[in-house]
Amino acid sequence: MSVLPDPVAREIAALLDRAGRVLFITGAGISADSGLPTYRGLGGLYENEVTAEGIAIEEALSGEMLRRRPEITWKYMAQIEENCRHAGPNAAHRLIAQWERELPYVMVLTQNVDGLHRAAGSENVVEIHGDLHRLSCLSCGFRERVRDLAGRALPPACPRCGKTMRPEVVLFGEMLPEAELGRLLTALETGFDLVFSIGTTSVFPYIAQPVLRAARAGVPTVEINPGRTCLSERVAYQIPMGAAAALVAIEGQRTEG
């Protein structure tokens, strides 16, 4: 399915315009139109099960590996960053940012570490897995935001104390950030009038549960994903398309309406 039927787009557009509070849950698929990969790994990275070191990518990108052998973790984090380096927001990111300005309340819950929602102008973003462009020192706590890692030694050294920096992302085996999780839970307690799941397989409970919670409460739910997921049978609208094309079609019906 490459075209969203006008009646479906019109129904969702009407729901969007009537909604006081909207939640967009996004995964690697929303960044596909920006040229970023959607395959496995942290935020969508590797399709091979074993790295060059003979270990699983989940082990390479784990908090334990960062502590023991930071050069391995940073080798693969740098590959993720390089993939993100020349990518910019696409129409899906920009439309969500636009709707945040136009609607009473919009929150984005994203698994992505690419920073593209904020680059598009979204402000109310829960980056549940962090942002690859924020670094912090494992020793003194110094923090900095970097545009990219080009020309930087790996692992990066702290400008203040010279010790190893880490990316402010949730590595495998680590806890979710309390502050971001708290923001999400507070918003969920208040409730939403419309919930979108976009470009995510929803394998993590904290990604799937907001959609399931809304569906149980009779809140309209929309899944936009080329493939089917564990949520596909539970949502009110399942749209087997890429994110940008689907959201552009919905916005087109808002404009015409």
- pLDDT value at residue 44: 52
Q: Is it the case that residue 49 has pLDDT exceeding 70?
A: no
- pLDDT value at residue 147: 87
Q: What is the pTM of this model?
A: 0.92
Mean pLDDT, to the nearest integer, of 184-205? 95
**Based on the domain organization, do 108 and 223 belong to the same domain?**
yes
Q: In this structure, is residue 121 part of a structural domain?
A: yes
- pLDDT value at residue 84: 82
**Based on the domain organization, do 228 and 121 belong to the same domain?**
yes
- The rounded mean pLDDT for the chain is 91
**Based on the domain organization, do 116 and 219 belong to the same domain?**
yes
**Based on the domain organization, do 79 and 93 belong to the same domain?**
no
> What pLDDT digit, counting tens, does each position of 129-153 carry?
999 999 999 999 999 999 888 888 9
Q: In this structure, is residue 210 part of a structural domain?
A: yes
Quick one: tokens of 64? 């334990």
Q: In this structure, is residue 162 part of a structural domain?
A: yes
Q: How confident is the model at residue 47 (pLDDT cuts 50, 70, 90)?
A: low
**Based on the domain organization, do 244 and 189 belong to the same domain?**
yes
**Based on the domain organization, do 156 and 102 belong to the same domain?**
no
Full strand arrangement of the beta sheet holding 105-110 = 125-127, 105-110, 21-26, 194-198, 221-224, 237-239
Q: In this structure, is residue 230 part of a structural domain?
A: yes
**Based on the domain organization, do 61 and 180 belong to the same domain?**
no
- pLDDT value at residue 39: 53
Q: In this structure, is residue 117 part of a structural domain?
A: yes
Q: What is the CATH number of the domain that holds 67?
A: 3.30.1600.10
Q: How far apart are CA 21 and CA 187, in angstroms?
A: 9
**Based on the domain organization, do 27 and 140 belong to the same domain?**
no
Q: Is 11 exposed, middle or buried (0-12, 13-18, 19+ CB in 10 A)?
A: middle
Known catalytic residues are 129
- pLDDT value at residue 79: 86
- pLDDT value at residue 112: 93
Mean pLDDT, to the nearest integer, of 218-238? 96
Which residues does 178 contact at the CB level (< 8 Å), separation at least 6?
none
Q: Is it the case that residue 1 has pLDDT exceeding 80?
A: no
Q: In this structure, is residue 42 part of a structural domain?
A: no
Q: How far apart are CA 28 and CA 7, in angstroms?
A: 28
Q: Domain count of the chain?
A: 2
- pLDDT value at residue 246: 97
CA 157: distance to chain centroid?
27
Q: In this structure, is residue 50 part of a structural domain?
A: no
Q: Is it the case that residue 201 has pLDDT exceeding 60?
A: yes
**Based on the domain organization, do 100 and 115 belong to the same domain?**
yes
Q: How confident is the model at residue 2 (pLDDT cuts 50, 70, 90)?
A: low
Q: In this structure, is residue 220 part of a structural domain?
A: yes
**Based on the domain organization, do 182 and 242 belong to the same domain?**
yes
Quick one: tokens of 189? 């307690």
Strand pairing class (143-145; 21-26): unpaired
**Based on the domain organization, do 212 and 99 belong to the same domain?**
yes
> What pLDDT digit, counting tens, does each position of 70-129 carry?
999 999 899 888 888 888 999 999 999 999 999 999 999 999 999 999 999 999 999 999
Range of the domain at 244: 6-36+89-129+175-256
- pLDDT value at residue 155: 94
Q: Is it the case that residue 230 has pLDDT exceeding 90?
A: yes
Domain boundary (120, 148, 169) is at 169
Q: How confident is the model at residue 256 (pLDDT cuts 50, 70, 90)?
A: low
- For residues 89 and 56, the model is more confident at 89
**Based on the domain organization, do 221 and 237 belong to the same domain?**
yes
CA torsion sign, 8 to 10 to 14 to 16?
Answer: positive
Quick one: tokens of 202? 């929803």
Q: Is it the case that residue 48 has pLDDT exceeding 80?
A: no
Q: What is the CATH number of the domain that holds 114?
A: 3.40.50.1220
- pLDDT value at residue 179: 93
- Type and span of the H or E element at 238: strand 237-239
